[in-house]
Structure formats: C-alpha cells, structure tokens
C-alpha cells in the first residue's frame, strides 16, 4: 500500500527517472534530476534514502552510483490500482480532462472491478459550498479551450465577469491552472497581452473564450500575488517528511538550521490561498511555527485564541 500510495506522486517519478538511467550517475547528476523533476528541497531526503536506506543506488566507482534494477521499470497494474483508477473516474472533475467517450471506454475496461469508495463517502470540512459547476456543459467547454491554450501555448481571447453587470474583455497569455481545495474552484494564472500585467481569473467567471495564435513571448514568473511564508519545522514523528509531502503543491524551499532536528521551510503561496495555508499549518500542531510575514503570524494567533475560547 505504501508503494501504491506514492506511485502517482512527484517523488516516485523522480526516483523512477534516476533508476531508469542506463549509466552511472554522480551525486551532482542525481541532484540535477531531482531539481528538474521535483523540488529544490527534494534531494534533502530522497538521495540519502536512495543510497543509504533503500539501497537502490550502489556505488560502482569512486563517486559514481548505479541502480540495482536488472530490468526496465514496469507499471504497477494490480487490482488495488485498478479499483483506485475506477474510483478516480467517478470524480466530477475528470470530465474536464477526458471526453465522455474516453471515460466510458475506461469504465468498460475496468468493469470487473469495484470502486474503493463513492464520492459522497468523503465529507470535506473547511470548504466553501459554491464550488465550480464541473458537470455543466458550458463550463466544461470553456475549461477545455483554456486547457488547450495552455497545452499548445496559444493566446486566449477572454470575456470575464468582473462584477454584476460588468465584464472585462481582452487577449490573455495563459500561464498555469490552479485548483483550490478550500474554494473548490479552478483559477487561471495569466498575463494580459501588451503590458504583461498578471491576472488570476476564476474559471467559473469566464463567460466566453476563444483560442488564438501561438504565443511568441517567454512569460515571466507569475509573482503578483505570491506571499512568502517562513516556518520552522521540528522533525519529530517525521514532521519534515510529512510537511514536504503535505505542501507538495506549493513552491517551497527547505533548509537545515543550526538547531538539531529543526528545519526552515519557506512556502510561496498566493494571497488568496493564505487562509487555506494557515489551516494546513495549524494541522501540524506544535511541530510548525510561522515566523513571517506578520499578517500570517497574527492570523495563526487569532485562530488559536478562538480555539482556546471554545
């Protein structure tokens, strides 16, 4: 179950890429693969695990390591995985990435397997109830065009509802799609063509979209609303590993501090997701402490004070 749990994760794919190399690798080369496929801080725990604990990479020559696999990697296709795939197919968001025919085809292929659980089995707390209408045909069509623009790096002609009765139109350069678990909504990070002003648009408020010509510019990092949140993590009960996995969908950096078993974790979060991030940090209890910015420290204190009053 542990291996299956990680099979679609970033760290699993990083390890797979290293083991798939047909030549010996230096530690620096493995670090570059980790940075390219994972995150800057991933090498902190992945490389020692590969060489010293899992023993998947052994030293052949001085400073050169080779994988122990004798055959090419084969995907795991056990019963549990197939049941999980069938469960995921029932997620209403799956229709945003697959056509109805594709979903029906997978359903037929997995007809002999039961789902692990129904969508209604999971009750999400701290989540708004006005999420995106994933099953609404118009939303699916607009989402598909936005996704096409992202994948093919094409401009998007957008009509966007700003407020009641007010709409914004223009040509935008798509940068990335984000999903907020708390808001249950997809957001499009993009730049306005011409002045490259960054925008964050809710997909549900996109009224109309047309795919335009291929983009001929290199987009900068979308930093307009990013807030850098600095925390200390006490490595007790694998808190550092759990934090790196828990915040895997955020851009982040991790550093060792001079204090034993204490790491510094810097998380880059959009301003609109700060409340969600604070809730996630609080779930680590005393193992995580927010150092800055002051606004996030204040929000953590206010929430703790309210809990004490309950």
Alpha helices of the chain — where are they, by DSSP H?
Answer: 2-6, 10-19, 27-37, 43-48, 79-89, 100-109, 137-152, 239-246, 274-282, 294-309
More confident residue, 185 or 271: 185
Per-residue pLDDT tens over the stretch 84-95: 889 999 999 999
Is the whole-model pTM more than 0.85?
A: no
pLDDT in tens, 145-200: 999 999 999 999 999 998 777 899 999 999 999 888 778 899 999 999 989 888 98
226-309 CATH fold: Alpha-Beta Plaits (3.30.70)
- Say yes or no to pLDDT of 30 above 50: yes
Average of per-residue pLDDT across 4-22: 76
Residues sharing a CB contact under 8 Å with residue 297, sequence separation 6 or more, in sequence order? 290, 291
Residue-averaged pLDDT of the chain: 86
* Topology adopted by domain 137-214: SH3 type barrels. (2.30.30)
Query: Which CATH code, of 1.20.1300.10, 1.10.10.10, 1.10.150.110, 3.30.70.2520, is assigned to 6-67?
Result: 1.10.10.10
C-alpha 117/C-alpha 122 separation (Å) is 8
Would you kindly state where each structural domain of the chain is located, as residue ranges?
Answer: 6-67, 79-121, 137-214, 226-309
Q: How many CA atoms lie within 13 A of 290 on its CB side?
A: 24
């Amino acid at each position: 179950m542990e291996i299956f749990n990680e099979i679609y994760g970033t760290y699993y794919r990083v390890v797979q890429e290293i083991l798939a190399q047909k030549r010996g690798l230096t530690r620096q080369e493995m670090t570059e693969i980790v940075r390219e496929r994972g995150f800057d801080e991933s090498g902190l725990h992945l490389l020692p695990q590969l060489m010293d604990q899992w023993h998947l990479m052994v030293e052949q020559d001085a400073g050169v390591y080779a994988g122990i696999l004798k055959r090419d990697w084969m995907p795991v296709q056990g019963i549990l995985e197939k049941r999980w795939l069938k469960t995921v197919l029932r997620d209403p968001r799956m229709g945003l990435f697959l056509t109805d025919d594709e979903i029906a085809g997978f359903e037929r292929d997995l007809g002999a397997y039961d789902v692990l659980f129904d969508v209604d089995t999971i009750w999400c707390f701290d989540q708004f109830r006005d999420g995106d209408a994933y099953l609404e045909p118009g939303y699916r069509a607009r989402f598909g065009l936005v996704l096409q623009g992202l994948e093919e790096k094409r401009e998007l002609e957008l009509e966007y509802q700003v407020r009641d009765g007010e709409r914004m139109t223009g040509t935008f350069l798509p940068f990335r799609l984000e999903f907020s678990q708390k808001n249950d909504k997809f957001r499009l990070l993009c730049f306005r063509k011409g002045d490259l002003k960054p925008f964050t648009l809710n997909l549900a408020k996109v009224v109309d979209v047309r795919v335009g010509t291929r983009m001929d510019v290199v987009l900068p990092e979308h930093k307009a609303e990013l807030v850098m949140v600095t925390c200390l993590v006490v490595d007790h009960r694998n808190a550092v590993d759990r934090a790196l996995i828990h915040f895997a969908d955020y851009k982040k950096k991790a550093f060792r501090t001079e204090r034993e078993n204490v790491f510094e974790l810097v998380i880059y979060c959009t301003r609109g997701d700060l409340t969600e991030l604070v809730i996630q940090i609080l779930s680590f209890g005393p193992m995580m402490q927010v150092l800055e910015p002051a606004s996030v420290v204040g929000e953590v204190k206010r929430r703790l004070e309210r809990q004490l009053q309950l």
